[in-house]
Amino acid sequence: MKVTAEQIYSALKDEFKLVGADGFIKFNLRDFDIVVEQNNVVGNILEEWLAKWMDNKGFDNIHNPGQSSPDFWLDLDNRNEGWLEVKSFTGSPNFDIGAFRGYINEVIENPWKLHAKYLLIKYRMEDGGLVVIEDCWLKNVWEISCSSSVWPIKVQYRNKVINNIRPATWYSGNTDYPTFESLEDFLAALEQTIYVYHDTRSTIAEEWGKNLCANYKKYYGRDLLLPRWMDVKSKYPKKLTKAELKALVKAKK
């Protein structure tokens, strides 16, 4: 049965009642069983569970067990459509949206990646290895991305190298920066980061936006209009702390 990411999400959340579900991860070797209590395997297990669950429901899908995108193809007739990425986390979002260099190159070669859906699963592991699903969401990439104090888009930056694009805490009102409102604003922040970052400024920055828009139009038959980051930056200000708000109110008196 051909299904969309939205239909899968609805079946998981409304029919299966994923939020609040719990279970154990067990391992058996000969006649000795254990319950796994390390949460670093939970994400892979949840993805494997999802693949088997979709098969059991009769939902069309191809599970990609490798490291490349996507985690699932939902459209068996067109591998460029119906991309589903699955990200699981405990506590705050600590996953990578993608490797920075890989992502900025891939969206030019495969512009449909920009419309991949992200199934996001928040869980906690209790004493004894009980895994409890706390919440789940289905989002677009711009809805889980934000700006930062240093870079136009939030990234992992270590030893003068941008490694990964990092997520916002999209479900919390207590965050420094809001998520992006549109694909175009997300790409404007990404393009500006490419201009600012020393490793891409002189190599791909000048042509990146042009190449992206050209390939996007070639595939979708419609224009992708990228604003300049300076024109949309004001929509994504850093939220003031309580102390800053107090000082601002005091200054206005």
Split at pLDDT 50, 70, 90, the class of 247 is low
Task: Classify residue 67 by burial, with Cβ atoms within 10 Å: 0-12, 13-18, 19+.
Answer: exposed
Residue span of the structural domain in which 136 resides: 5-238
Residue 243 lies in a domain: no
- Provide the domain count of the chain: 1
**What's the pLDDT tens digit per position in 143-194?**
999 999 999 999 999 999 999 999 999 999 889 999 999 999 999 999 999 9
- Cα separation, 72 vs 89, in Å, equals 18
Inside any domain, residue 248? no
Does 182 reside within a domain? yes
Domain membership flag for residue 120: yes
Give the mean pLDDT of 10-23: 98
CATH value at residue 203: 3.40.600
> Under a CB-based contact definition with an 8 Å cutoff, are residues 144 and 118 in contact?
yes
Residue 246 within any structural domain of the chain: no
**Is 190 part of a structural domain of the chain?**
yes
pLDDT class for 7, splitting at 50, 70, 90?
A: very high
What's CA 166's distance to the chain center, in Å? 8
Residue 244 in domain: no
Residue 158 lies in a domain: yes
pLDDT digit string (tens) for 111-139?
999 999 999 999 999 999 999 999 999 99
